[in-house]
Structure 1
Amino acid sequence: MQLIWLRSDLRHYDNTALSAAATRGPTVAVYLISPDQWRAHDDAPCKVDFWLRNLRPLSDSLQQLNIPLLIRTAAAWDQAPAVLLELCQQLGIEAVHANQEYGINETRRDKAVAQALDAKGIEFHSYLDQLLFQPGSILTQSGSYFQVFSQFRKVCYNRLHMAMPQIVASPKAQAPLHVTRDPLPETVDGFAVPGAALRALWPAGEEEARQRLAQFADEQIEYYKDQRDLPARPGTSQLSAYLAAGVISPRQCLHAALQSNNGEFESGSPGVSTWITELLWREFYKHILVGYPRVSRHRAFRPETEFLPWRDAPTELAAWKQGCTGFPIIDAAIRQLLQTGWMHNRLRMVVAMFLTKNLLIDWREGERFFMQHLIDGDLAANNGGWQWSSSTGTDSVPYFRIFNPLTQSERFDPEGRFIKHWLPELADLNKKQLHNPALIGGLFGVANYPVPIVNLSQSRDRALSAFKNLPSRQMLEVSHG
């Protein structure tokens, strides 16, 4: 008998490990509930709830194939080897199949499981599934992992032209087993259940994910390049939560995009090529996670930036976390995150740069806060985005390029529709006043809205000075030599 160990691949369609297991013989599925590990990783309650909700339609889909889904608890991942070994011995499992996951803790967990199983004569097989390319297969001419995205993308395009990753066949129904599927947990201790409004924004299941992808490819991808930066427009795919949980695969996304563009990557629709580039950014950051493990350890990708004089400013950090900075585009974005579990991608950059440059607060504070609230929280993408914005990461924005939140607001929300939706207290302001209510004057500004917590010009100068005074990488290498 075969065991498919489900993790961040909560689907039965185009699931590499599931297909491989079913091909080899009668198959049982298992999912591990790991609350201590999820807390250690700062996983958001809405994200944990989303995973649990996706287990239900997945269990039903597997049941139609006569593959029972079992639920076991391994509170922390160091318990996974013993829990899985016990299950394998109970059921007479010959081999365990799992799709690869990336990050230091994930790698250690899988290595420990493989060793424990091997000691008892049980095979462990892992498969490329949540990426288009195996980490380590896209390298520079000198054999190292790419640090510049544009170069990485070029090699990816060349590989895709040579061979397109194919959708994996779904398993056929197997003969019924004498194993009964387990009841599914509705909640997990320590993780609050989100409100009905948030849940309604993110329905569970593969059918929902595939419908979203199909609708996006049919109706919106053509306009993606022009509308993706406008937070008041539905210009993005809204698929990130489904990709992070593996309810849909990057292969499915790539095939849908190409199908809408006559099979072209770089020509044809600018919207399609721009969206494929976004898929490759996701790929790039996971390769970085493997090639440069220090980013899994809360370390800056650029070692010299570990010496930045980050400020200990708890009052300002709290104002940022509450959406009370006095800058409407920042505050509206934070409120969107707190109420929906999601933030528009352009605003993730604006909000991150405000925290790390204008407030000069450590990017790790923001990275953690995002993970604690994002329904699509993903270590690689979240870390990559924060380090890009704070100029500490690979291929990051130059330190002297600091987004001005007022300019960004006027450019990407010119009518103030996004701001008015999330900050109804500003709804009566005209579109000139809306972006910077402090200009209205008066001792206390606009009623029920805070005055700005920082002077943009002075804070910009402070950030530039902090970066200019960093030791160079060469100096660090000499001092450590």
Structure 2
Amino acid sequence: MRLIWFRNDLRLADNPALRHACATCGDEEGGVTALFVISPAQWRAHKMAPIRQRFLLAQIDELGKGLAALGIRLHLLRVETFAEVPAEMAALATRLGVRQLYANQAIELDEQRRDRAVSQALQGLDIRNHWFNGCCVLPPGRVLTGSQEMFKVFTPYSRAWLKALEEEGFVIHRSPAPRGTPLPWTPLAETGLVEGVAREPEEAARWPVGEVEARRRLHDFLEQAVLDYGENRDFPAQAGTSTLSPYLAAGIISPRQCVAALQQRLGYRPQSRAQPGFVWLNEIIWREFYRHLLMLVPNLSMNLPFRDETRALPWGWDPEALSAWCEGRTGYPIVDAAMRCLNATGWMHNRLRMIVASFLTKDLHLHWRLGEDYFMSQLIDGDLAANNGGWQWAAGTGADAAPYFRVFNPTTQGQRFDPDGAFIRTWVSELADVPTAQLHRPHEWLQQHDRHDYPLPMVDHAAARIRAIEMFRELERK
């Protein structure tokens, strides 16, 4: 018997572990079966957002039905923490008569430790382990400098990544063929393994699960928006992005599928900004950059900065200031609209992520870890590599971080990227009737109209910016 262990790769198409297990397994070997491990306590310890948990569990139902149609049974194992997984999996493997394990590699430190422990436990039972790259276009460790080190700056990494892809190419694995009589599938809600599986209708409508939905979003984006992505991606009131991040984070669609679809749409693989489609491809390369970094630099999984010297920065931990930021009560309209959108939908536009991250770290001078944790606790697309990479970029502590003197002005960012206030008015109801000319600096107008339902700015941006720059200058002088 061959066991496929699903993790953040909840798909049938382009799943190397699934494809290899099925392609090399004859009926005489006992067939193929599958497993997903539900770890609620570990998910909570990793700050996994409830909306992301529900999204994953809904996708498990889709995956289970899809596998059952192929004649492959998906076993569900509830194991509270990673520490318990090796023994429980060894017991399950013994019960099922498993002789070989197939899985796609994890990149996070705790998950890698869990996988090594599982591998050792199963090898002790004479069960062979097979591990594959299922989360990146190019496997972590493939794109290195001439001295065989991980790139610390994105632009040369991007060039090297494109060159490596040209040299090696990549393969899209098709879904396996049916392996016999379709099997029944018991919906997860009926198993008693988890609570809170049900999704609100609005949530389910906004984020439907399934590979068909992920491919539909990819197709629609490539047909309607990719050519204008470079011009429209920064405007949160426009439908200028793919909204594929939850599907990539859960592995419902793979980055290889995205690159292949882009190439098919354009008729070529773009190599520079001069070519249409490159800006979106470059975002996929950013995703690869952060995932490769996370796997090759363990400190990033341990709440530590990439740039070790920035540990000495005097970040604050003010709980009242943090609460105001989390709840969208900063007095800066674009920041408050972004945070309220996150809290209501579980998602935030990428330009807004940069704005609110800069505000937390460079205006409030709070530790980037506070923002990183809060994002993970709310985001449906919560992904350690991308989230950590983005926060450290904004804070000036990471690889290829924004220069410390680059501090986003939340007012001018709002004026530039939400010029008519459509996004702000959607999420900050107190400002719905403020004239556009005053919307990004609404307080004088509000006071003239005896309105006190929107908070005053909690900090003076100009003064806060000076202090943020001085923090880094002091660090350089040490």
Q: Is the 8 A contact 1:198 1:341 kept in 2?
A: no
Matches within 5 A, 1:442-457: 442=447, 446-457=451-462
How far off its partner does 1:191 sit?
Answer: 6.1
What's the secondary structure of 1:42's corresponding residue? coil
1:418 to 416, 423, 427: 423
Q: Is the 8 A contact 2:214 2:253 kept in 1?
A: yes
Per-residue CA deviation, residues 54-86 of structure 1 (Å, 9 max, x unaligned), is 111211111111001111111101111111111
1:162 aligns with 2:167: yes
2-structure distance, mates of 1:270, 1:239: 22
How far off its partner does 1:189 sit?
Answer: 5.7
Matches within 5 A, 1:242-261: 242-261=247-266
- The letter of the residue matching 2:188 is L
What's the secondary structure of 1:470's corresponding residue? helix
| TM-score, normalised by the number of residues in structure 1 | 0.94
**CA RMSD between the two structures:** 1.9
- The letter of the residue matching 1:173 is P
1:214 to 193, 214, 219: 219
- The letter of the residue matching 1:3 is L
2-structure distance, mates of 1:439, 1:155: 51
How far off its partner does 1:145 sit?
Answer: 0.5
1:10 aligns with 2:10: yes
How far off its partner does 1:264 sit?
Answer: 2.6
2:400 to 395, 400, 404: 395
Unaligned runs of 5+ in 1: 476-481
2-structure distance, mates of 1:318, 1:151: 39
1:281 aligns with 2:290: no
1-structure distance, mates of 2:441, 2:125: 66
| TM-score, normalised by the number of residues in structure 2 | 0.95
Partner residue in 2 for 1:205: 210
Partner residue in 1 for 2:137: 132
Partner residue in 1 for 2:188: 184
Q: Is the 8 A contact 2:10 2:60 kept in 1?
A: yes
Per-residue CA deviation, residues 79-98 of structure 1 (Å, 9 max, x unaligned), is 11111111111111110110
Q: Is the 8 A contact 1:35 1:188 kept in 2?
A: no
CA, structure 1 residues 180+191, in 2 after alignment: closer, same or farther (shift >3 Å)? closer
2:68 to 63, 67, 71: 63
Per-residue CA deviation, residues 153-195 of structure 1 (Å, 9 max, x unaligned), is 0011111222321111221111349x87554247876868653
What's the secondary structure of 2:262's corresponding residue? helix
Q: Is the 8 A contact 1:71 1:182 kept in 2?
A: no
Partner residue in 1 for 2:355: 350
How far off its partner does 1:262 sit?
Answer: 1.1
Q: Is the 8 A contact 1:227 1:235 kept in 2?
A: yes
1:54 aligns with 2:28: no
2:108 to 103, 108, 121: 103
What's the secondary structure of 1:72's corresponding residue? strand
Q: Is the 8 A contact 2:273 2:279 kept in 1?
A: no
1:329 aligns with 2:334: yes
Q: Is the 8 A contact 2:58 2:197 kept in 1?
A: no
CA, structure 1 residues 241+445, in 2 after alignment: closer, same or farther (shift >3 Å)? farther
How far off its partner does 1:196 sit?
Answer: 2.6
Unaligned runs of 5+ in 2: 26-30
2-structure distance, mates of 1:353, 1:193: 35
1:305 aligns with 2:314: no
1-structure distance, mates of 2:446, 2:39: 52
1:434 aligns with 2:442: no
Q: Percent identity?
A: 44
Per-residue CA deviation, residues 338-373 of structure 1 (Å, 9 max, x unaligned), is 111000000000000000000000000000000000
2-structure distance, mates of 1:254, 1:396: 26
How many residue pairs match? The answer is: 472
CA, structure 1 residues 32+445, in 2 after alignment: closer, same or farther (shift >3 Å)? farther
Per-residue CA deviation, residues 87-120 of structure 1 (Å, 9 max, x unaligned), is 1111111101101110110110110000000001
Partner residue in 2 for 1:21: 21
What's the secondary structure of 1:29's corresponding residue? strand
